[in-house]
Amino acid sequence: MKHLKRRTLCLSLLALLLIEVLVCLQYRGPAVVSERDADACTAAGVATFSAERALRIHQQVFDDTPHPAGSAQNDAVRSRLVDLLQKDGWLVKVQSSQVADGTVHASLRLHNVIATRPELRRLSSPPVVLATHYDSCRFGPGAGDAGGCVAAVVEAGRLLTLNTEQLQRPIWLLFTDGEEAGLLGAREFVQSHSWPQHQPLVLNFDARGTSGPVVMYETHSGNSVAVAAWINTIGQPRITGSLFTAVYRTMPNGTDFSVFQQAGWQGFNFAILDGAQRYHQPDDSFAHLDPRSVQHFGEHALKLSTLLASSPTDPATTKENAIFFDVLGLFVVHFPVWWCLPIRFALLLISVQLYGRHVLRRDVLKQSLRVWLTMLLIAVAAPLVGWIFSACIRGTLILPRSFVWYGHGLSFGMWVLSLLMALSIAEWMLHRIEQRIVWDAFWLGQAMTCMVVSMWAPEFSHLLSIPGGMAIVLTLTVRSMPLRTLLATTGAGLILIPVQHLLSIALGPSAGLLLFPTFVLLAMPMLPAMGKCRVGG
């Protein structure tokens, strides 16, 4: 029966590879819209963003040289930006301040640029703020970080205000200075405005690279109502997830959105993550800026700000957060975080009833314990092997920096290695145990693990509960164990591979300690295939 085991594994791995290819194609971002096509759609009454026009704006404002806060080059960038905004009919105010800067200078002269529409002064509702920063680091031109964001915000703001009579909120374009020096401009802006009880709604745009799709990776606290109302309005592909917020909170990075969130503003934070090898480097230049990324920035800004500006009513105040995640960028699933525990409790009860009466029998319990020991070994080995792998290549010719242009290839190699490691351990431990016992014991163990995860890290629990729910359905409807395994692996792949794809981009090959445990989750549904086939089964 070895040929049946090999066929099941080969088909499962092939399914995972096909899903990975699908994710790579879907997560490239939207196709670039030309100026001509955008103008035709806009003339027909459908405001349409064009990355082609936004890139022309980029070239008008930036000259592909570094322009850190306080420099003459940054003064020139600001002057061109102000002139462009005024020509488009914006009322522009430059907020200047002297601030302490602990990075380079004893003090730094900052100049935030705030653009408003005089036609919207009649509106008293809190504004919709499209925010980004226009300064660069000292080492690179900042075409991605955040020149592309500036161009997208300028063009999206122009389109949004073509018909101001339909807007019910003021529109502000905010271009902060000194973001690279420690979010200084955003802090000065927030401190200098005495906002009413209802705070602005902010969409913040930034970049940690020069390419790839835009990810909505952070929201304000108490986001349940806002997520339900806004999340499926962002541009296609809709790439987001509450678990990215959980991961981001553990990192030392920060954006202007951190300041806005601390001030009580509601909103979303967007960024591109790919091309991170150019982040804060001399080659963060216009030539390397992906037009698809600019298109995606603009569509997010235009679609969501149009929704927010069309209603003067703020989202209801709540302390409740939401769990949310996209399905292949097509749509976003969301539900309140308090649902997690009852869902996982129900999953555990059903799993105990469905699997427990088989694997907890005295004559089977020893084999079930071996299955659970296998799961534990893989869980322990994954971060250990990942850490060793990254430590061995870090600082060598293979990985001289945290991010390299061939990082996707290295991450794919880590993905393959993690699967081989997990399946090798499973083959060693499980080859004498009947596949049905492995199936039942594994999914019961998965349900117990999910219960623990939902209590300590609810943002991650859907990565376990959704495959667990699929397994229950398959147990009740599919008799063939190879087919069950194939379908369970494919279902888990649809949930896990998009997350793994983005995490590998965000963290890079040097983060094997975190990536390997994420990667091996894909191998776990294949564990039953490593068991002994039952004759006639």
**DSSP codes joined into one string, 158-170:** HHHTTTGGG--S-
Integer Cα distance of 166 and 504 in angstroms: 42
Main-chain phi, psi angles of 209, to 5 degrees: 180, -160
DSSP state of 137: -
pLDDT on residue 248: 79
Main-chain phi, psi angles of 206, to 5 degrees: -150, 180
Integer Cα distance of 392 and 414 in angstroms: 13
pLDDT, tens only, 309-340: 998 888 888 889 999 999 999 999 999 998 98
Cβ neighbours for 65, distance < 8 A, ≥ 6 positions apart: 73, 141
pLDDT on residue 104: 53
Give the distance, in angstroms, between the CA of residue 46 and the centroid of all CA atoms in the same chain: 28
Indicate if the pLDDT at residue 407 is higher than 90. Answer: yes
Residues 323/335, Cβ–Cβ less than 8 Å: yes
Q: Dihedral of the CA atoms 73, 75, 80, 86 (nearest 10)? A: 170
pLDDT on residue 205: 98
Main-chain phi, psi angles of 319, to 5 degrees: -95, -5
Indicate if the pLDDT at residue 537 is higher than 50. Answer: no
The model's pTM is 0.93
Residue 335 parent element (H or E): strand 331-336
Residues 212/218, Cβ–Cβ less than 8 Å: no
Residue 114 parent element (H or E): strand 107-116
Integer Cα distance of 236 and 28 in angstroms: 11
State the number of CA atoms in the 13 A half-sphere of 514 facing the CB: 15
> What percentage of the chain carries pLDDT values higher than 70?
97
Average pLDDT of the chain is 92
pLDDT, tens only, 155-189: 999 999 998 888 999 999 999 999 999 999 999 99
Report whether the peptide linkage leading into residue 146 is cis, meaning its omega lies within 30 degrees of zero: yes
Please report the DSSP string for 199-218 in residue order. PPEEEEEEESSSEEEEEEEE
Main-chain phi, psi angles of 269, to 5 degrees: -120, 130
What is the average per-residue pLDDT within 281-286?
A: 96
Closest CA to 481 of 495, 471, 496: 471
Both structure tokens of 365: 């319990």
pLDDT on residue 314: 81
pLDDT on residue 84: 97
- Under the phi-then-psi rule, with left for phi > 0, alpha for psi from -120 to 50, and beta for the rest, what region is 183? left
What is the average per-residue pLDDT within 89-115?
A: 85
pLDDT, tens only, 197-218: 668 999 999 999 999 999 999 9
For the chain, list the domains and their CATH numbers: 2-24+338-530 (no CATH), 30-328 (3.40.630.10)
Q: Beginning with the edge strand found earlier in the chain, give each strand of the sheet holding 201-207 in spatial order.
A: 91-100, 107-116, 171-176, 128-133, 201-207, 266-274, 211-219
pLDDT on residue 122: 87
pLDDT, tens only, 434-460: 999 999 999 999 999 988 887 778 888
pLDDT, tens only, 28-41: 889 999 999 999 99
Residues 326/238, Cβ–Cβ less than 8 Å: yes
Both structure tokens of 300: 């997010």
pLDDT on residue 290: 97
Indicate if the pLDDT at residue 495 is higher than 60. Answer: yes
Q: Indicate the pLDDT class of residue 106, thresholds 50, 70 and 90.
A: low
